[in-house]
Structure 1
């Protein structure tokens, strides 16, 4: 892979090549990407979607929206620092083509901003509940009417693939989705493969999948424009990652590791004295002991250590990226950046403590159980109506249910798979509260 292709400013529908040196410096193409994401309705819905503690009423806890904003800030720093070093290593990118360090920062920031845009309500349990409906629930009845890959898309419903759908799907008046630059779409695609074969290797890019069968054409178009390297068997659609996807992943890893931990401490789920020692182990080389000892509240102490920890891990990720840049461009680098970190033991300790005290807390588990129930009921009612509509056997109740869907959800697609995916797409865009409100309406509880 080469950086000139990887930094493509092309957008869906372009008929001519966009050149970096011809860009308006007051509003660069990559900055347009960031703006389009942040003004989208799908991004706004993240303000009421679960990050860790679902529907918490405290000011401490992050939603998907605040998490995404923080990941974009960390991603911007990562991208700028890496960009500066890449321009020193490959001066033609700056001298001949006109790229600047901030371009790398903006690409990574935009992709980071969108990294959770496809996640359904109720956190990762939302993804699992959609998958379980088709794998073991009432949705299993559709298996024989779908191809293996179509069915796998539904059984392992994936927020990353759904995000790619949101960013690229055409609809009336919005051709090409948000029409982001292909560089930003490439950085967004952490798992540039289809749902089958499932985890064919231990390569980090094979951990999940990144696009639904319905977006195959759009995905291939992006991958080919960027010059991503083909992977896997001849008939499989699988590519090497865009190098900047490693930085998007690192930004997310840094934020959920450190900031989820911070939430747990501030909520009292993790004992302060015990927890702060874990953070101090990570930042021991940079901590100002006198300043730290002058802080009088838990929140201030945690905030100080969090800032140091994030800065430490940003610098570490930059070193790891540049040390492995050649392998990353060849597609042979197979791990997440922070998996190679000298702080890997400290990161593992923090994540282990978060799992035990936050992710498995009764508050989280109770809300995840409720989320499973809500999403299962929505899928049960909506998929039945849509399938009956597709086969031409609508009941009176089905006709009423179809009126619930907004006009921008296409329920007149050519295949059953696409219509079922439209249902999942609609549910995935609901906020936590809207999902519960819709559930209550279907149960007649709003009367």
Structure 2
């Protein structure tokens, strides 16, 4: 192994870290969960094991990402056929959906695989010799490089979303310097900053400096706590331990208020709940009716809209439901909206 191998592993896992997120982001995850918890999908509870049902009512983009990366398909085994190390670095939450948040340790914040990928998960953790956290359920401490993938995610969504909010006019430019100056005070070239004529260039300069500072901070914390990370004793994210924690929290707070809770975002998330619920209802009903031999002409038409790979390996109710969830979770916002319009007759 060479020094650059570690960077390649972290970079590959970082590129993929959101691959399993459904349309409408975290709101989409909640919309899927609500459908099975309080919507028409609640009727399936008695047909599923507690862990299978928890997978659905607490649908997790991280677990869906692991499914995409490892799922066998006809003629294709091993999913994307990534290295074990890359898959290990991808697994920020190496546990199953139950029990939910049994401790305050960072690995228990969410879960990292569905019951449908349990064998693939166990194969990864055993090959990597990851330490088991609990003997009562499937739960492991992280692969050490997962902390760096998490840090990359935290840095990007904190700083780049903040930059986007300023460029979109949702946050005043004055906040850029006010909120970032404590991060970049030791690296900023004030003369260069004031020589930049356009807001976008000034904000971009601050963003680049801030990301550089936080990368160096994350690396320093990782190295200083390497022994604890390897033993599973490091219970927080790297940036939770950094000297800029207060500044990061301030940036997140204003981003939540001005960006994530902006009128445009809220309206899209509200629409997303209806869209995802309707899509789940129509597709799951068609697939189940076909399996049970009770499909209507409408169901047969709906089945033609579902790609073939999502209609195979559906021997159990859990597999059928999870297959449809994966299909919908793989949609973009725009594609989900277009499919919904077709189903409701609004695009004819």
Q: TM-score, normalised by structure 1?
A: 0.77
202, 212, 229: which one pairs with 1:328? 229
> 2:332 matched to 1:431?
yes
Q: Determine the C-alpha separation between the residues in 1 that align with 2:346 and 2:144.
A: 50
Q: Is the 8 A contact 1:158 1:209 kept in 2?
A: yes
> Gaps spanning 5+ residues in structure 2: where?
none
Q: Determine the C-alpha separation between the residues in 1 that align with 2:314 and 2:120.
A: 17
Q: Determine the C-alpha separation between the residues in 2 that align with 1:274 and 1:206.
A: 34
2:53 corresponds to: 151
Q: Is the 8 A contact 2:93 2:109 kept in 1?
A: yes
Q: Determine the C-alpha separation between the residues in 2 that align with 1:123 and 1:280.
A: 30
287, 290, 294: which one pairs with 2:188? 287
Q: Is the 8 A contact 1:230 1:240 kept in 2?
A: yes
Q: Determine the C-alpha separation between the residues in 1 that align with 2:136 and 2:289.
A: 34
270, 285, 289: which one pairs with 1:388? 289
After TM superposition, the structure 1 = structure 2 runs for residues 118-133 of structure 1, keeping only pairs within 5 Å, are 118-133=20-35
Q: Determine the C-alpha separation between the residues in 2 that align with 1:412 and 1:343.
A: 48
Shift of 1:393: 2.1
Structure 1 runs (4+) deviating above 3 angstroms are none
163, 176, 188: which one pairs with 1:262? 163
Q: TM-score, normalised by structure 2?
A: 0.98
Q: Is the 8 A contact 2:176 2:203 kept in 1?
A: no
1:8 corresponds to: none
367, 378, 394: which one pairs with 2:268? 367
> Gaps spanning 5+ residues in structure 1: where?
1-98
SS of 1:196 mapped into structure 2? coil
1:273 corresponds to: 174
1:110 corresponds to: 12
After TM superposition, the structure 1 = structure 2 runs for residues 6-405 of structure 1, keeping only pairs within 5 Å, are 99-232=1-134, 234-405=135-306
Q: Is the 8 A contact 1:278 1:350 kept in 2?
A: yes
Aligned residues: 348
SS of 1:408 mapped into structure 2? helix
1:418 corresponds to: 319
> 2:343 matched to 1:442?
yes
Q: Determine the C-alpha separation between the residues in 1 that align with 2:221 and 2:175.
A: 30
SS of 1:231 mapped into structure 2? strand
Q: Determine the C-alpha separation between the residues in 1 that align with 2:267 and 2:330.
A: 22
Shift of 1:434: 1.3
Q: Determine the C-alpha separation between the residues in 1 that align with 2:303 and 2:159.
A: 43
1:74 corresponds to: none
Shift of 1:190: 0.3
SS of 2:131 mapped into structure 1? coil
SS of 2:154 mapped into structure 1? helix
Shift of 1:411: 4.3
Residues 271-290 of structure 1: per-residue CA shift (max 9 Å, x gap)? 11133210112111111111
Q: Determine the C-alpha separation between the residues in 2 that align with 1:271 and 1:227.
A: 49
Shift of 1:158: 0.6
Residues 187-230 of structure 1: per-residue CA shift (max 9 Å, x gap)? 00000000000001111111100000000000000000000000
Q: Determine the C-alpha separation between the residues in 2 that align with 1:350 and 1:445.
A: 40
Shift of 1:392: 2.9
Q: What value does the CA root-mean-square deviation take over the aligned residues? A: 1.0
1:51 corresponds to: none
Q: Determine the C-alpha separation between the residues in 2 that align with 1:210 and 1:103.
A: 24
Q: Determine the C-alpha separation between the residues in 2 that align with 1:336 and 1:276.
A: 26
